[in-house]
Amino acid sequence: MNKDSSKISPTGVKRLEDNMTLEKAGWGGEEVPGNAAPVRSPANEGPPGHGRGPEGPPGVGGAPSGQIPMAALLTLVIGAFMAILDGSIVNVALPKMMAIFGVAADQAQWVMTAYLLVSGVVVPVTGYLGDRFGYKNMYIFSLLAFTAGSAICSLAWSNNSLVIARVIQAVGGGMIMPVSMAMIYVIVPRDKIGMALGIWGISAMAAPSIGPTLGGYLVDHFSWQWIFSINIPIGIAATFLAMVILSDTPRKAHLKPDIPGTILSAVACFALLLALSEGQDKGWTSLYIVNLFIISGFTLALFVIWELIAPEPLLDIKLLKNKTFSISLVCLAIVTVCMFSAIFLIPLFAQTVQGYTPMQTGLMMMPMALTMGVMMPISGRLFDKIGAMPLCVVGFAITVITTYQLHTLTYNTGIRELQWLLVERAVGMGLCMMPLTTAGMNTIPHFLIGRASAISNLVRQISASFGITFLTFVTLHRQEYHTVWLADTVNWSSPAAVGMLQQIQSIISQAGSSGAQAGVSGATSVLYSLVRREAFISGIEDAFIVSTIFAVLALPLVFFLSKKRMEAQRAAEYKRYAHLMPPGPAVGGSVKNARVKN
C-alpha cells in the first residue's frame, strides 16, 4: 500500500478489496491501476454457486461485473425463510398444546420464550464460528440443527420435552439469519448486493405475516405436529442444496475463541430477552424483572470493556465507530419496531375486537406480506442505482403517514379498508428496510462482514422483542386510562348512557330474563364490556401513534446515508483496518505492498 494511504480514493479502495477477495478465493492476478479491472488468472472457472462476470473471476467479495449466483442465493433464502417463519407459526398452536399437554398458559408460553432466548443468545457467536470453520459449513450445521430440532418437536410427548426440542431448534434457527447474510456478501458482487439482499430480505419481511396463516391452516386441518413436521423435508432439501451448490469460504484456522466474551454476551442477551418477554406478566417493577435488567446491564458493560481490550474479540465493538454503520443500525431498530407494530397489533385488533379466527386474520394480512416481498427486490435494484437515502426518505415518509392513519381504527373498520392501508404501509416499509441494512453493511471491510452481520441481526432480534413488549405495555396502559375516562362519562347523568342502558335492559327482558334486578345487572355488564372494548381499541390507536413518533425520529437520520457518504466511509474503514487485511499474494503482490493508482 502507498506510504500515503490517505490518498487512496473510494474507487481505489474498492479495487483493493476486489484484489484481496481474489486472493481469498484462490485467484491470481497482476498489478492493475486503481481504475482498471483486475486481470483474471487462467483458472477462470468459478466455484459452484458463485457469480461470474466478463472482467474478473466469480464470487468472493464482489467481482466488479459479476452476476448474482441465483441458485446459491435461493438456497440461502430457503433457510432464512424457514427459520423466521417458525418464530411466528407456533403462536396459533399454543391453545391446542395447552389442552393436549394439560398445562397452564404460563408453562405453554415457554415453547415460544425458549426459542426467542436461545436464538438471540447464539447470534453474537456466529461471526467467530463462520470465520473459524467457514460459512458454508456453519450454514449446513444450522440447517441440520434446525431440522433435527423440528423433528424432535413433532415427536414431543410433553410440554417439557417440547421446550427442550425448541432449544435445539433455536440453535440452528438463530444462526441461519446472520450466517446467510454474511454468506451473501461472500458470493455476490458488491455492485449487485442491493438486489441480492432484497431477494434475501423477502424472508425477513414476509415470513412473520405468513406464519400465523400457515399455522392456523395446519392446526385447523391437520394437527399441531404439522407446524414442525413441515420443516423436515424442506430442511433436508435445503441442506442437500447447500452441500451441492454453495462453495467453501476461507477459514481462519489460527483464530482463537473469545471465551469471556461469549459468556458475557450470552448472559447479557439471555437476561435482557427474558426480561422483555416476561416483564408484562411479572410486572416491570417486580424484583425478578428489575434483577434481570441489572444483570443484563452489568454484563453488557463488562462485555463492551472486554471486547475493547481483547486481542481477538467475539464482536468488534469498534465497528460502531463507523458512523454510517451505527446510523443504519439505529434506523434499522426503529423500522423493525414499526414493522412489528402492525404484525403484532393488527392481529390483536382483528381477533379480539372483530372476532376473526387466526386463519382469517392471516388471510387479511397476506396482501401486506406479499407487497413487502415484491418491494424488497425492487428496492434492492434501486439501491444499486441511486443509493439508500432517496429510498429511505420516501419509504419513511409513507410509513409515517400510513402508520398515523392506523390510529383511526374503529369497531366498524372494514377488512378491505384495513387491507389497503396495510398494503400502502408495506410499500413504504419495503422501500426502506433493505437499504437501511445494506447502507451500513456496505461500508464494512469484507473480512469483517461476519462480525458486522452478527451485530446487525442481534440489533434486529432485540429491537423486535423490545417493540412487541413496549407496544403491549403502551396498549394495556392506555386501555386502563381510557377505561377510567369512559367509565366516568357513562353514568346516570348522561342521557346517552341511560338510554343505552334501557335499550340493553329491554333486550335482555325480551330474551326471557326474569326479574328487574337481573335485567339491570345484565345491562350494566354488557355496557361495561362495550366500554372495555372501546378502551382497548383506543389503546391500540395510541400504540400506533407511538410507533409513528418512532418513525418520525428516524427520518432525519437517513439523510446521513447518501451514496457519497457511504463511499467515503467505506474508504475510511479500509484505511482504518488495513493492518487486519489477510496477508498473501494479491494483485501486484502482497496486500501491504499493493500499489493502488487512481
Looking at the chain, the whole-number percentage of residues with pLDDT higher than 70 is: 78
Residue 496 CB: number of other CB atoms within 10 A? Answer: 9
Q: Report pLDDT digits (tens) over 247-275.
A: 887 787 787 888 888 899 889 888 888 88
User: Could you tell me if residue 45 is inside a domain?
Assistant: yes
Q: Does residue 522 belong to any structural domain of this protein?
A: no
Same domain membership, residue 148 and residue 225 = yes
CATH number at residue 244: 1.20.1250.20
Reply yes or no on whether the pLDDT at 17 is more than 60: no
Q: For residues 380 and 359, what is the distance between their CA atoms, to the nearest angstrom?
A: 31
Q: What is the pLDDT averaged over residues 321-344? A: 86
354-365 pLDDT tens trace: 888 777 777 888
Distance CA 12, CA 33 (A): 8
What is the pLDDT, as a whole number, of residue 486? Answer: 74
- For the stretch 49-58, pLDDT in tens is 333 333 333 3
**Of 15, 56, 6, 55, nearest to 35 (Cα)?**
15
Residue 322 near residue 560 (C-beta atoms within 8 A) = no
User: In this model, does residue 176 exceed pLDDT 60?
Assistant: yes
Whether residue 146 is predicted with pLDDT greater than 70 in this model: the reply is yes
On whether residue 436 sits in a domain, the answer given is yes
**Cβ-based burial of 589 (10 A; exposed 0-12, middle 13-18, buried ≥19):** middle
396 lies in the same domain as 410: yes
- The burial class, CB within 10 Å (0-12 / 13-18 / 19+), for 239 is buried
**Least trusted range by pLDDT, from 39-48, 396-405, 416-425:** 39-48
Task: Please indicate, yes or no, whether residues 101 and 146 belong to a single structural domain of this protein.
Answer: yes
| pLDDT on residue 501 | 64
Judge if 32 and 94 occupy the same domain: no
**Phi, psi (5° rounding) for residue 68?**
-70, 125
Q: Tell whether 213 and 103 lie within a shared domain.
A: yes
Is 209's pLDDT higher than 80? no
Question: Count of domains in the chain?
Answer: 2
Q: Which amino acid is at 352?
A: T
Do 346 and 423 fall within a single domain? yes
Q: Is residue 236 part of a domain?
A: yes
pLDDT digits (tens, 9 = 90+) for 456-486: 888 888 888 888 888 888 888 888 888 887 7
What pLDDT digit, counting tens, does each position of 488-502 carry? 766 556 666 666 666
What pLDDT, on the 0 to 100 scale, is given for residue 110?
79
Nearest Cα neighbor of 175 from 222, 132, 122 is 122
Are 218 and 310 part of one and the same domain? yes
How far from chain centre, in Å, is Cα 592? 37
Determine contact, residues 139/183, Cβ cutoff 8 Å. yes
Kindly state whether residues 92 and 18 are assigned to the same domain.
no
Residue type, 351: Q
Beta strand 585-586 with 589-590 is antiparallel
| Judgement on whether residues 457 and 411 belong to the same structural domain of the protein | yes
pLDDT over 90, % of the chain: 6
Please give the pLDDT value at position 141. Answer: 93
Q: Is residue 493 in a domain?
A: no
What is the rounded distance in angstroms from the CA atom of residue 33 to the CA atom of residue 140? Answer: 39
Looking at the predicted structure, is the pLDDT value of residue 30 above 50?
no
Nearest CA to 277 out of 82, 478, 464, 542 is that of 464
Q: Which residues contact 540 (CB under 8 A, 6 or more apart)?
A: 345, 348, 349, 409, 475
Distance CA 409, CA 341 (A): 14
pLDDT given at position 585:
38
- State the virtual CA torsion across 117, 121, 122, 125 in degrees, nearest 10: 170
Q: Which of 337-341, 373-377, 391-395, 454-458 has the highest average model confidence (pLDDT)?
A: 391-395
- pLDDT confidence bin for 447, thresholds 50/70/90: confident
Mean per-residue pLDDT, 186-194: 80
CA distance 141 to 174: 12
* pLDDT value for 507: 64
Predicted local distance difference test score (pLDDT) of residue 583? 59
Q: b/e per residue, 398-410, with b = 16+ CB within 10 A?
A: bbbebbbebbebe
Task: Produce one character per residue of 355-379: b if its CB has 16 or more CB atoms within 10 Å, e if not.
Answer: ebebbbbbbbbbebbbbbbbbbbbb
Q: What is the pLDDT of residue 449?
A: 83
Give a yes or no: residue 339 inside a domain. Answer: yes
pLDDT attached to residue 84: 81
Supply the range of the domain harboring residue 14: 5-64+576-590
Kindly state the cell numbers that stand for 72: 446459491
Q: What's the angle, vertex CA 435, arms to CA 392 and CA 542, rounded to 5?
A: 50
Decide if 428 is inside a domain.
yes
Amino acid at 317: I
Taking only the tens place, the pLDDT of each residue in 95-119 is 777 778 887 766 777 787 788 888 8
Q: Best-predicted range by mean pLDDT among 88-102, 237-251, 504-518, 566-580? A: 237-251
- Grid cell digits, residue 567: 463511499
Mean of the per-residue pLDDT values of the chain: 77
Are both 50 and 187 inside the same structural domain?
no
CB distance 278 to 468 below 8 Å: no
Let me know whether 55 and 149 are in one domain. Answer: no
Shared domain for 226 and 286, answered yes or no, is yes
- When pLDDT is cut at 50, 70 and 90, the band that residue 442 belongs to is confident
95: in domain? yes
pLDDT above 90 (res 34): no
How far is CA 29 from each of CA 40, 120, 175, 335, 508, rounded to the nearest angstrom?
A: 6, 42, 35, 43, 88
Residue 47 has pLDDT above 50, yes or no: no
Q: Which residue has the higher pLDDT, 349 or 17?
A: 349
- In angstroms, rounded to a whole number, what is the distance separating the alpha carbons of residues 224 and 291? 36
